[in-house]
Amino acid sequence: MTNTGNNRLVGNSFKLGYRFQRYWDTSMAIAFFSAEVGTGLFLVSYFCNYVLGMALGLALTATLKPYFHLAHMGVPQKSWRAILRPDRSWISRGAFAVAVLVGFGVLHVIDRATGLGAALGLSQGVIDLVGYLAVAGALVVMCYQGLAMSHSESLTLWASPLLPVSSFCYALTAGALLTLVVGWGALEPRRLAGLVNLAVLMLILDTLVVFGILLSARRKSKGGAFSAEMLLQGEYSSPFRNLVLLLGLAAPVVLMALGAGSYPMVILATLAMLVGFFAFRVLLFKAAVFEPITHDLAGSIGLPSAR
């Protein structure tokens, strides 16, 4: 899609309008969303020593993430070859991180559930190392989507160091809330209270990071300002305001403040946050535009350019 409303002559040059990013679409948004939510659930459950939460997080990351990512690439049965290029892209590095997370994460979950490591005579150091490697993979997965996007310098909305921060913060927020939901009847009250506090803190950080991304884009270039304007006052302002800001960030804080001790309130807060998070992922794709391209008409036919 091309916005022709901004096309205009500048001296002897014709300035093309903003071109929207349309290669990464809803399927990629689902892939990123699934990886971040599942990995966040695994990581928070790991530190809570909650096996069921870890298992569910791994299952979510290991199924929906690769399915929607490979489906987006067009030829799923051949697209796996793309992961063999870690020297070239964050997408490839992320695929390896997912493999590390799932591989060592599954081993860690099995050991925590059955005591397999001790039964095999492994030292505690080796058993702990398996868990640490899974955590290392999780940390990369939680950030790499933002890192991949932030390397797209031609898309100012994405080209921000806050993109990987937003990925990590949203993933940790989702992890805290989902661990509350899944572990409500299993975790001790002290753990539950800590997760409530973590979730509220992360929701506040999410809000600051989201506005930081928009402010940075607005100041960086005309394309970035155009993207920010679409989200704040233009075509996408309604879903951004209602889904991302009000439902996804403000409502969960209010619900947690009013009824942190109520399981239904926690479920509602979690659902609201997840809807807002997914909307944020989709809108970041939809609102990203390439910078306008200026073509020197006079110079192209050998005439002196007007300044």
Please report the pLDDT score of residue 86 as a whole number. Answer: 58
Average pLDDT value for the chain: 85
Q: Could you give the CA distance from residue 7 to residue 295 in angstroms, rounded to a whole number?
A: 11
The pLDDT value recorded for residue 74 is 56
CA end-to-end span of the chain: 30
CA distance 99 to 58: 11
> Which pLDDT does position 165 carry in this prediction?
96
- What's the confidence (pLDDT) of residue 301? 45
Q: What is the pLDDT of residue 295?
A: 46
- Is the pTM higher than 0.95? no
Closest listed residue to residue 145, CA positions, set 218, 93, 67: 93
Please name each of the domains of the chain with its CATH number.
Answer: 22-292 (1.20.1630.10)
Give the residues of the chain that fall short of pLDDT 50.
1-15, 295-307
Note the pLDDT of residue 27.
83
pLDDT for 87 equals: 59
Residue 267 pLDDT: 96
Strand ordering across the sheet containing 8-10: 8-10, 13-15, 294-296
